[in-house]
Chains A and B, each alone.
With several copies, the nearest count.
Chain A
């Protein structure tokens, strides 16, 4: 997928990709970062000094595939779109190779297999030029500054929200919520060994411990069960006594 980091700046003229031919069949990639397969195609057409309305499809397809192979050999992850374009080119190429049976009736309907691609390239080129215009405008605009804060400005942390902010904020709340649930699950996974350890520590520190208070520290049913087993275990193995002062009263764990 398209995962380009935001660049701090770029120069439209410098950013042009360049494949240098080192020897007869070795290409060298000096700089190549295309915004998409259409960019690469436009570049290749220019490189071949071909007419955009009469693209030498076989040659351009070969060059295109060469470039893709090159990118692969450089371990550049190729966006799926580059491969889709490769398939399109190969399809056009094979259509062009088909012997043409020109008859009076079909001639008019025969569409050049390159036509859709050419249309797309021209359209794309227009927007590329438009984006350069935007780039230039924003450069000028960045040299202009508004006034500083004045006393009447409220400078509390307020946001001017759009619908998408609403969604983003909502998702943040939901994920915050999920994290909380996550924490509970983590707490559930206290092992029996850990529980015994913590129980022992408490009894040895305080000499005696209210069973009710201990159980109240548990957050989930599973923890409670673990705690209960821990109590049984500690009474069995350690010198700890269970004492109850009144019927249904609190039970005290006491170190003997």
Chain B
């Protein structure tokens, strides 16, 4: 039997494999996963992803490569949403009610946060909004607070990052930034 010696891959080859893997992945694929599958170190993968991203930008085709929810994903460009929607016959997603959006904003910025704490900020009972957000998987339970009654704490989910196009929570503008807008 012949033992095949593995040739080290060229950077172009690594980029191509990265592209193939990002394409087949159902969810944004992390640099770590890519690095594990290719058995190449993180830095190599990171460089490859960056170059691929640049390539997609230079092409200005129908697709883009972007970082979202902690991983990389290929998706259509926003410019062509009308035609894509026409083909898929989808209407824009049902949007969240004002109450649900406000509750989501409080949870996003104050997580992990309990129902009484949300009430404090919103000044209004938020139970049904929380239920909606749970149903839509935008928030998840994040354990219990070690205080009287051990209330459930809530935080945002990965779907939240996906739906709002965020790389990670640190990409959220700081809540203090919204202060200037008061009045």
Binding site for B on A (CB under 8 A): 1-10, 15, 33, 35-38, 52, 79-81, 85, 120, 122-131, 133-135, 137-150, 152-153, 156-174, 176-177, 180
B98 touches A (CB below 8 Å): yes
B164 contacts which chain A residues (CB < 8 A)? Answer: 134, 137-138, 141, 161-163, 166
User: Looking at chain B, what size class is its interface with the partner chain?
Assistant: 35 or more
Q: A7-B95, A127-B121, A130-B105 are in contact. Are A163 and B172 (CB under 8 A)?
A: yes
Mark each residue of chain B from 69 to 113: 1 if its CB lies under 8 Å from any CB of chain A, else 0: 000011111100100100010001111111111101110110000
A212 to B67, CA, bound (A): 71
Decide: A171 and B78 in contact? CB cutoff 8 A.
no
Decide: B106 and A173 in contact? CB cutoff 8 A.
yes
Binding site for A on B (CB under 8 A): 20, 23-27, 73-78, 81, 84, 88, 92-102, 104-106, 108-109, 120-129, 132, 134, 137, 140-141, 157, 162-166, 171-179, 181-183
Q: A81-B125, A180-B123 are in contact. Are A8 and B175 (CB under 8 A)?
A: no
One of A4, A137, A139, A148 near B97 (C-beta < 8 A)? A4
Instruction: Tell me how far the C-beta of A174 lies from the nearest C-beta in chain B, rounded to whole angstroms.
Output: 8
A10 contacts which chain B residues (CB < 8 A)? Answer: 95, 97-98
One of B74, B81, B128, B173 near A4 (C-beta < 8 A)? B128
Known: A142-B93, A162-B140. 7 other contacts (CB 8 A): A10-B95, A127-B102, A130-B173, A142-B92, A157-B98, A169-B105, A177-B121
CB-based nearest B residue for A166: B105
B106 contacts which chain A residues (CB < 8 A)? Answer: 127, 170, 173
A174 contacts which chain B residues (CB < 8 A)? Answer: 121
Instruction: Tell me how far the C-beta of B167 lies from the nearest C-beta in chain A, rounded to whole angstroms.
Output: 12
Instruction: Tell me how far the C-beta of A169 lies from the nearest C-beta in chain B, rounded to whole angstroms.
Output: 4
A38 to B119, CA, bound (A): 11
One of A7, A126, A162, A169 near B175 (C-beta < 8 A)? A126
Decide: A6 and B100 in contact? CB cutoff 8 A.
yes
- Among A85, A139, A144, A168, chain B packs the most CB atoms within 10 A around the CB of A144
- Among B75, B95, B173, chain A packs the most CB atoms within 10 A around the CB of B95
A36 contacts which chain B residues (CB < 8 A)? Answer: 99, 122-124
A176 to B124, CA, bound (A): 12
Instruction: Tell me how far the C-beta of B136 lies from the nearest C-beta in chain A, rounded to whole angstroms.
Output: 9
Q: A79-B124, A131-B105 are in contact. Are A159 and B26 (CB under 8 A)?
A: no
One of A38, A134, A139 near B105 (C-beta < 8 A)? A134
A135 contacts which chain B residues (CB < 8 A)? Answer: 95-96, 101
Instruction: Tell me how far the C-beta of A165 lies from the nearest C-beta in chain B, rounded to whole angstroms.
Output: 7
Instruction: Tell me how far the C-beta of B99 lies from the nearest C-beta in chain A, rounded to whole angstroms.
Output: 5
A168 contacts which chain B residues (CB < 8 A)? Answer: 178
A117 to B88, CA, bound (A): 49
A37 to B141, CA, bound (A): 27
Decide: A6 and B75 in contact? CB cutoff 8 A.
no
One of A4, A81, A137, A140 near B123 (C-beta < 8 A)? A81
Decide: A4 and B105 in contact? CB cutoff 8 A.
no
Q: A124-B123, A148-B24, A160-B95 are in contact. Are A140 and B105 (CB under 8 A)?
A: no
Instruction: Tell me how far the C-beta of B66 lies from the nearest C-beta in chain A, rounded to whole angstroms.
Output: 8
A144 to B26, CA, bound (A): 15
Instruction: Tell me how far the C-beta of B150 lies from the nearest C-beta in chain A, rounded to whole angstroms.
Output: 15
A52 contacts which chain B residues (CB < 8 A)? Answer: 182-183
CB-based nearest B residue for A156: B97
